[in-house]
Amino acid sequence: MGLHILGTGSYTPARELTNDDFTKFIETNDEWIRTRTGISSRRVSEGEPTWYMGAEAAKAAIEAAGINAADIAMIIDTTITGDYCTPSVSCIIQRETGAVNAACFDLNAACSGFVYGVDMAHRFLKTDADAKYALIVANEQLSRITNYEDRASCILFGDGAAAVVVEYKEDALYTSHLGADGTGAKFLFAPTAMPAPYFSVPEKLEKKWDDFDEPLTGKFAHCLKQDGKEVYRFATQAMPKAAKAAADKIGFDLNELDKIVPHQANTRIIETAMKNMGLPMEKAVVNIAQHGNTSSASIPIALDEAVRAGVIQRGNKICLVGFGAGLTYAAVILEY
């Protein structure tokens, strides 16, 4: 029933944006950001596209896995900041990695995207005996959809990418739980940057079609808008709920976990979620201080860094758990 992670990789841009850098354009300070979020710094793209970051991470993961890219049967790219409406980022990753035999598609489950992607890969590999490996890539460039005049949100986000190569393994540990609550869609959203429909009429343009708060206007019109407190509340419930639901499916005790790799949105969210799961904070992998929130890339960047630092080792039982816009939530439990 299981999934085996063969290799991990990540890429973050060279340009660093520290908390002090924000004091130059918004009213804030390092102390507020660190104590409220756990973030000290984050990386931001200086122009490299989302697909480039993903391709670099993917190449590192393929190298770490020691496989031939031509044996990858599927590439799933998770992003909310793809460079194009079409083609998908995954097709460009295929071009860059030489994974010529892979089917390719992108998946949007916001910050839960990577965990959704891992579970889709598991289901795909399980049902296709000819499919050897899958590559899941998470790449995000949140600096393109961040309102740098909103001090409550802009300090949270960073850019980066990470990837894993996985194979199906009949006897390996695996369980998952994916979910969503669309009634919370209004709490975290970013409109598309597309212009109004070509044939639009004023009445239809002016009609209020949903219960979202007023979107931003001007140069930040395409940017993320959130109700931080609602998202916070959701996150602290949703991550424990997803992890417990996944564990319950196979009668797994969460205390058996060696490590939890949660979505890196806010250290306080992680602390409360760990408490709600009845697990000590030492079991959480946390790298938010250096990267901020990189949406779907946050879990695999933390995973890759933990693997390369020896914090997660072969045989460790781990849980990847996230939440995000949608609102979505997801957990997988597997053995590294």
The contact set with ligand UT7 (CB under 6 A) reads 28, 32-33, 36-37, 111, 151-152, 155, 226, 228-229, 231-232, 265-266, 293, 324
Cβ 97 to ligand UT7 shortest distance, Å: 28
Q: Which is nearer to ligand UT7, 7 or 326 (CB)?
A: 326
Q: Which helix (H) or strand (E) holds 180?
A: strand 174-180
- The question of whether 263 is a catalytic residue gets the answer yes
CB nearer ligand UT7, residue 108 or residue 293: 293
Closest separation in Å from C-beta 30 to ligand UT7: 10
Long-range pairs for 31-36: beta carbons < 8 A, 24 or more residues apart? 33/155, 34/289, 36/266, 36/268
Tokens of 22: 């924000």
Catalytic (active site) residue 291: no
- Cβ closer to ligand UT7: 155 or 247? 155
Pick the catalytic residue from 223, 263, 291, 319: 263
Alpha-carbon distance 277 to 215, whole Å?
A: 35
Which of 91, 270 has the CB closer to ligand UT7? 270
How far, in Å, are 28, 69, 85 from residue 151 at the CA level? 7, 43, 29
* Of 145 and 155, CB closest to ligand UT7: 155
Q: How far apart are alpha carbons 21 and 287 in whole angstroms?
A: 20
Residue number with CB closer to ligand UT7 (36 or 308): 36
Question: Which residue is associated with the tokens 């590999």?
Answer: 125
Question: Which tokens belong to 1?
Answer: 């029933």
Has 111 been annotated as catalytic?
yes
> Is the peptide bond preceding residue 13 cis, with omega within 30 degrees of 0?
no
- Helical H segments across 98-143, by residue range: 113-127
Q: How far is CA 57 from CA 27, 53, 292, 307, 314, in A?
A: 35, 6, 18, 14, 21
Instruction: For residue 123, give the 3-state DSSP assignment.
Output: helix
Where b means 16+ CB within 10 Å and e means fewer, 38-58 reads bbbbbbbbeebbbbbbbbbbb
Closer to ligand UT7 at the Cβ: 49 or 262? 262
Q: Which of 91, 104, 111, 154 is catalytic?
A: 111
| Closest CB 11 distance from ligand UT7, rounded Å | 20
- C-alpha 175, offset from chain centre: 19
Least distance between ligand UT7 and beta carbon 26 (Å): 7
CB of 226 to ligand UT7, least distance (A): 5
End-to-end CA distance of the chain: give it in Å, rounded.
14
Task: Pick the closest to residue 89 from 284, 297, 231, 241 (CA basis).
Answer: 297
Quote the least distance from Cβ 219 to ligand UT7, whole Å: 20
CA 109 – CA 323 distance, rounded (Å) = 9
Cβ 255 to ligand UT7 shortest distance, Å? 27
Catalytic residue IDs = 111, 263, 293
